Amino acid sequence: MTTADPAAPTLEVVDLVKHFPVRGIGARGVVHAVDGVSFSIGRGELLGLVGESGSGKSTVANCVMRLVEPTEGTIRLKGADITHLSRRALRPLRGDMHMVFQDPYSSLDPRMTCGQIVGEPLDVQGIARRAALDTRVAQLFDRVGLRDELRFRYPHELSGGQRQRIGLARALAVSPTLLVADEPVSALDVSVQASILNLLRDLQDELGFSCLFITHDLATVEYLCDRVAVMYLGKIVELAPTRELFAAPKHPYTQALLSAAVVPDPVVQRSRSRVVLQGDIPSPLEPPSGCRFRTRCPLEHRSAPTSHEVEPPLVDVGGDHYVACHLVGRGREAPSLLDPAELVG
Amino acid sequence: MSVLEVQDLSVRFDTDDGQVHAVDRLSFSLGEREVLGVVGESGCGKSVSFMSLLRLLPETAVVEGRAEFDGVDLLRAPASRLRRIRGRDIAFVFQEPMTSLNPAFKVGNQIGEVLRRHLGLSRGEARRRTIELLELVRIPAPERRVDEYPHQLSGGMRQRVMIAMALACDPKILIADEPTTALDVTIQAGILDLMRDIRERLGTAIVLITHNLGVVADVADRVIVMYAGRKAEEAPVHELFAQPQHPYTNGLLGAVPRPGVAGVRGRLREIPGRVPSLASLPQGCAFAPRCPRADDRTRSEVPELREVRPEHLVACFHPGPDA
């Protein structure tokens, strides 16, 4: 099925798996980068995908964009299955989804002028040529707040923030239904990040595209996204509307993550209690059996031995809130890591 | 009592694009047991100033001013004297724990080298002390880790090794340059706790160089905000966040999304424009081209630092919190 269904969500990802085989000296095996991830993004919705390094969030983005081939699972764009489409069959759909990368220094072709970079997708998709192309590119530069003369400059002549605006203009040139943004502001200075985030929000309001926003920064997600999915070691551990997730995080990992984020206010920051997780994220070559978070979970003594044997499914606990934890369920109060009574047997 | 007293520190580089003023007349003092936060964006001179104190910059750098430590001017002390101070009395922790450790040596040997060189310990003594240090920075199973190579450790663990190495000779000052920037938040929390712990237990004075206002809010006692090579503002941490005076500080505070504060569908405050090139600084205040409060005087005259509230310095003609 490759026909688009107007009522379907913009993006549906079902049981996505991506394994990378490793063959090297002394290391052999499979990196479980993404291990069964499902979510969907509605029309005009911004979904934040949060996780630490090695959680698999960027691999999800690359699978969605079909930059890497998924091992298993299904990816549907506007209802049409694109999981295994050939490059050729995928080409007309390329206009429907576009990506903005983290590093504005290496993701723009240094031999093209900024105008050519922004115009390229329009040209490739056959949307505009010559004079019409010039006009459209000029409009796009204006829309993302870049001076017109920058069309004739090369990327190295621009600052990081300006380059990221070029990245956005290029991504939005063909009016995609889905924008995938992988850490788009992480490489920028604080004072420049704000203007890019504001711009992204303005453009989204105006153009109404859906967005998969990938980041490690919780504050950015809270500012920008409608819903948030939290990933840990290749799995989604919690998925909820933004307000709900930040007000009442249920998964122990989400609670630890939220408590560890620093708030730029000494009064607030110094009165917060925080949970410091022991150890490091395990190797995705050999993820722990059962619950993947159990090796660092402060509540492991309560979930064992089940958590060692059974992998907790992502279940609906009510209010569009999904959690993958043996200790959390519908109608049950989620344990709080900040309550000392919970931490002793 | 201050352990370090810096007066009018300037750092210039001669480049093809002309003279670059990386640091311009920076003065500050560091108190005993104090955690001093130094905040600014890329190119503001925050790292360069501290590297220049230990004369770690290339020879093209022209460094002026005074930096008094333990009765010596670091900028004029003979090289032999400085070698004894570096790593022993004043220790550095860098941002990238992978590139600052030598991949070809076991971590134990790298820490041990510092101990044998500076304190003259034997191999056996150095090994014992190394294990103690790894314990101090809360590395699990230190007896085993001591014989591992850097690539066998995670990023957070490597940063702990770097801190252990810095603490090897019980330094009076620890200079940490973006120590948590390359780390995940859950790992960052542990490193910040460790910094606090070091100050409490060992009484080390700490300089924490960072671009992250949250990190400063968490551990610093006093904060210096730098912009384009100059000190824009300095104040005790609570004072700075409650009563920010410089428009740049105000801008930075408004530009970061805050958990629970921005609210869904609010807007972030933007600072228009970009950080100026140090090779072509504007004539007056370096922040003037981006400043909502700029006027003719700001654009022609460089504002000097002045004390506008107790212990609160600001270099601005129009100081005050944003309305």
Say what the ipTM of the complex is: 0.85
Main-chain dihedrals φ then ψ at residue B164, nearest 5 degrees: -60, -40
CA distance to partner chain A, nearest, from residue B320 (Å): 18
CB spacing of B260 vs A220 below 8 angstroms:
no
Q: Please say whether the beta carbons of A324 and A238 come within 8 A.
A: yes
CB spacing of A191 vs B267 below 8 angstroms:
no
A256 pLDDT above the threshold of 90: yes
Q: Is B260 on the interface with A (CB under 8 A)?
A: yes
What does the pLDDT profile of chain B (323 residues) look like in tens digits? Answer: 899 999 999 999 988 878 889 999 999 999 999 999 999 988 899 999 999 999 999 988 999 999 999 999 999 999 999 999 998 899 999 877 677 889 999 999 999 999 998 899 999 999 999 999 998 888 888 999 999 999 888 888 888 899 999 999 989 999 999 988 878 888 888 889 999 999 999 999 999 999 999 999 999 999 999 999 999 999 999 999 999 999 999 999 988 887 665 444 568 888 888 788 888 888 899 999 999 999 999 999 999 999 999 999 999 999 999 87
CB spacing of B186 vs A270 below 8 angstroms:
no
Read off the pLDDT of residues A172-218 as tens digits, 9 standing for 90 and up: 999 999 999 999 988 888 888 888 999 999 999 999 999 999 998 88
Read off the pLDDT of residues A62-86 as tens digits, 9 standing for 90 and up: 999 999 999 999 999 999 999 999 9
Residues A329-336, mean pLDDT to the nearest whole number:
85
Specify the pLDDT at position A345: 47
Q: Give the closest residue to B262 by CA, choosing from A213, A202, A263.
A: A263
CA triplet A125, A126, A129: central angle to 5 degrees? 130
Residues from chain B that touch A242, judged by Cβ atoms under 8 A, are 264
Q: Give the closest residue to B13 by CA, choosing from B5, B22, B24.
A: B22
Q: Give the closest residue to A217 by CA, choosing from A78, A50, A4, A94.
A: A50
Question: pLDDT-based confidence at A344, cuts 50/70/90?
Answer: low
Specify the pLDDT at position A284: 87
Q: For chain A, what is the mean pLDDT?
A: 91
Q: Give how far Cα B2 sits from Cα of B5, B29, B36, B96, Å.
A: 7, 6, 12, 29
| Pairs across A and B, CB distance < 8 A | 134
CA distance to partner chain B, nearest, from residue A188 (Å): 9
- Give me the percent of chain A exceeding a pLDDT of 70: 97
Residues A30-50, mean pLDDT to the nearest whole number:
95
Question: In residues, how long is chain A?
Answer: 345
Residues A133-140, mean pLDDT to the nearest whole number:
94
A92 pLDDT above the threshold of 60: yes
Question: pLDDT-based confidence at A1, cuts 50/70/90?
Answer: very low
Q: Give the closest residue to B135 by CA, choosing from B174, B104, B167, B106.
A: B167
Q: Is B225 helix (H, G, I), strand (E, B) or coil?
A: strand
Read off the pLDDT of residues A287-326 as tens digits, 9 standing for 90 and up: 999 999 999 999 999 998 999 999 999 999 998 999 999 9
Q: Which residue has the tokens 């080390």?
A: B204
Q: Please say whether the beta carbons of B279 and B226 come within 8 A.
A: no
Q: Closest partner residue to B157 among A52, A276, A280, by Cβ?
A: A280
Please state whether beta strands B230-236 and B205-210 pair in parallel, antiparallel, or not at all (unpaired).
unpaired
The string of DSSP letters for B1-40 reads -EEEEEEEEEEEEEETTEEEEEEEEEEEEEETT-EEEEE-
Q: Closest partner residue to A242 among B190, B264, B266, by Cβ?
A: B264
A35 pLDDT above the threshold of 80: yes
Q: Which residue has the tokens 């949060």?
A: A50
d(CA B247, CA B245): 6
Kindly calculate the radius of gyration of chain A based on its CA atoms and give it in whole angstroms: 21
Most B CBs within 10 Å: which of A265, A295, A337, as the mutation test of the B interface? A265
Q: Give the closest residue to A20 by CA, choosing from A81, A62, A65.
A: A62
Residues from chain A that touch B212, judged by Cβ atoms under 8 A, are 262
For helices A130-143 and A160-172, the axis angle rounded to 10 degrees is 130
Q: Closest partner residue to B255 among A193, A256, A279, by Cβ?
A: A193
Specify the pLDDT at position B279: 81
d(CA A256, CA B185): 10
Residues from chain A that touch B155, judged by Cβ atoms under 8 A, are 53
Structure tokens at B150: 């850097």
Specify the pLDDT at position B259: 66
Beta bridge partners of A236: A231
A54 pLDDT above the threshold of 70: yes
The reported pTM is 0.89
CB spacing of B211 vs A190 below 8 angstroms:
yes
